[in-house]
């Protein structure tokens, strides 16, 4: 009996959050190895389904760096990273599009469908969702077909949400002249969150959050300010794929997304824990430091 009462308490604890968040748009960037691990992936998909059923509007944007590495290896194509972004030649671009917009996008949509929502997999190319141009790294390095987002046309997302579909978006996009571009999914997520005026933007990744020292598991920051992040990039404490991610968090906060969070996608039900309980997990990005006990958005 006790066990059932505890279960009921958990449900009741979620009630204020369900009431508060009813109808809000949440953009979930899903990447890292959490995307590959089937066991974890299933719990995250359940979380997204639950969010949808209690009245939130989830929009999923996915990455796939780890899958892309496997595929590029299979095709014998080498790739290097500059500032956390993958230098992309024409051959790599083809493999990346097949992996992201083909394999992963369809797999995620299909899995979500099996978990009980009607998910539709699209890419940045569909209905001109994202229009891009070639990006140059800050040190002048030619990144090839890496895209920078010039415009977001969220019509297709609105149309899907209105009809109760859950959009699942691959970040491969095209330029105005039709050149295919590889967009880091973090940038796609924040641009889409801005265009949708989303209240929440969650980055599910494969670390517990932003670490003060990249190599030290125990140094995860429960919140980080814009100033702190700038200093950590400069000192090298934030590196690799975490650089574009934190830059996107900063852009999200500046664009007015109320709640921008980096969460560990390897933890079962990390989304539910963050959205529907008092437990704060991962790293919350904020403009400036506030009191210890942060009001939830
Ligand atoms: N200070 C730091 N704190 C936490 N992680 C860091 C830090 N500096 C670098 N990293 C690295 O950033 C990685 C996360 O970025 P990565 O691009 O690999 O994953 P993702 O963006 O979630 O997935 P994808 O690129 O497939 O969408 C971590 O696995 C970690 O190795
Ligand atoms: Mg990444």
160-194 tens-digit pLDDT? 999 999 999 999 999 999 999 999 999 999 999 99
Query: Does 28 contact ligand 1 (Cβ within 6 A)?
Result: no
Residue-wise pLDDT for 241-255, tens only, equals: 999 999 999 999 999
**Six token digits for residue 90:** 């024409």
Query: Does 171 contact ligand 1 (Cβ within 6 A)?
Result: no
Q: How confident is the model at residue 215 (pLDDT cuts 50, 70, 90)?
A: confident
pLDDT value at residue 280: 77
Q: Are 252 and 190 in contact (CB under 8 A)?
A: yes
pLDDT value at residue 290: 63
What residue's CA is closest to ligand 1, atom 10? 242
Query: Does 31 contact ligand 1 (Cβ within 6 A)?
Result: yes
The reported pTM is 0.93
Query: Does 229 contact ligand 1 (Cβ within 6 A)?
Result: no
Ligand 1: which of 32, 100, 230, 265 to mutate, most ligand atoms within 8 Å of CB? 32
Residue 295 has pLDDT above 70, yes or no: no
Residue 120 has pLDDT above 50, yes or no: yes
Query: Does 240 contact ligand 1 (Cβ within 6 A)?
Result: yes
Residues of the chain with pLDDT > 70, as a percent, come to: 97
Q: What angle do CA 35, 127, 200 make, to 5 degrees?
A: 50
Nearest ligand 1 atom to alpha carbon 211: 3
Query: Does 237 contact ligand 1 (Cβ within 6 A)?
Result: yes
**Ligand 1 centroid to 177 CA: how many Å?**
32
Mean pLDDT computed over every residue of the chain: 91
Residue 293 has pLDDT above 90, yes or no: no
> Which ligand is nearest to the Cα of residue 236, counting in written order?
1
What residue's CA is closest to ligand 1, atom 11? 242
pLDDT value at residue 49: 95
> Which ligand is nearest to the Cα of residue 239, counting in written order?
1
Number of Cβ atoms within 10 Å of the Cβ of 147? 28
Residue ranges of domains in the chain, CATH in brackets: 23-286 (3.40.1160.10)
Residue-wise pLDDT for 69-118, tens only, equals: 999 999 999 988 988 889 999 999 999 999 999 999 999 999 999 999 99
Residue 149 has pLDDT above 50, yes or no: yes
Closest by alpha carbon to 159, among 127, 185, 136, 132? 127
């Amino acid at each position: 009996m006790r066990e059932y009462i505890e279960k009921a308490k958990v449900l009741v604890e979620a009630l204020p959050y369900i009431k508060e968040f009813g109808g809000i748009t949440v953009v979930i960037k899903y990447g890292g190895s959490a995307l590959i691990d089937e066991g974890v992936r299933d719990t995250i998909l359940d979380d997204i389904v639950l969010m949808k059923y209690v009245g939130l509007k989830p929009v999923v944007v996915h990455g796939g760096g780890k899958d892309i590495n496997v595929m590029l290896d299979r095709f014998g194509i080498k790739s290097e990273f500059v500032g956390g972004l993958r230098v992309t030649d024409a051959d790599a671009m083809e493999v990346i599009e097949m992996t992201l917009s083909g394999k992963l996008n369809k797999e995620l949509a299909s899995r979500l469908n099996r978990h009980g929502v009607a998910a539709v997999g699209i890419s940045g190319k569909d209905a001109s969702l994202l229009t891009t141009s070639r990006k140059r790294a800050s040190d002048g390095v030619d990144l090839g077909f890496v895209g920078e987002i010039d415009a977001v046309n969220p019509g297709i997302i609105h149309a899907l949400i209105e009809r109760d579909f859950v959009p699942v978006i691959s970040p491969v996009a095209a330029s105005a002249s039709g050149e295919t571009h590889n967009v880091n999914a973090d940038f796609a997520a924040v641009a889409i969150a801005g265009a949708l005026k989303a209240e929440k933007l969650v980055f599910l990744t494969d670390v517990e959050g932003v670490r003060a020292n990249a190599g030290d598991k125990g140094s995860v920051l429960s919140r980080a300010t814009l100033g702190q992040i700038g200093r950590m990039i400069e000192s090298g404490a934030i590196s690799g794929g975490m650089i574009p991610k934190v830059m996107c968090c900063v852009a999200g906060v500046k664009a007015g997304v109320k709640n921008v969070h980096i969460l560990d996608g390897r933890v079962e039900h990390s989304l539910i824990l963050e959205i529907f309980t008092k437990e704060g997990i991962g790293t919350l990005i904020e403009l400036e430091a506030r009191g210890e006990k942060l009001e939830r958005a």
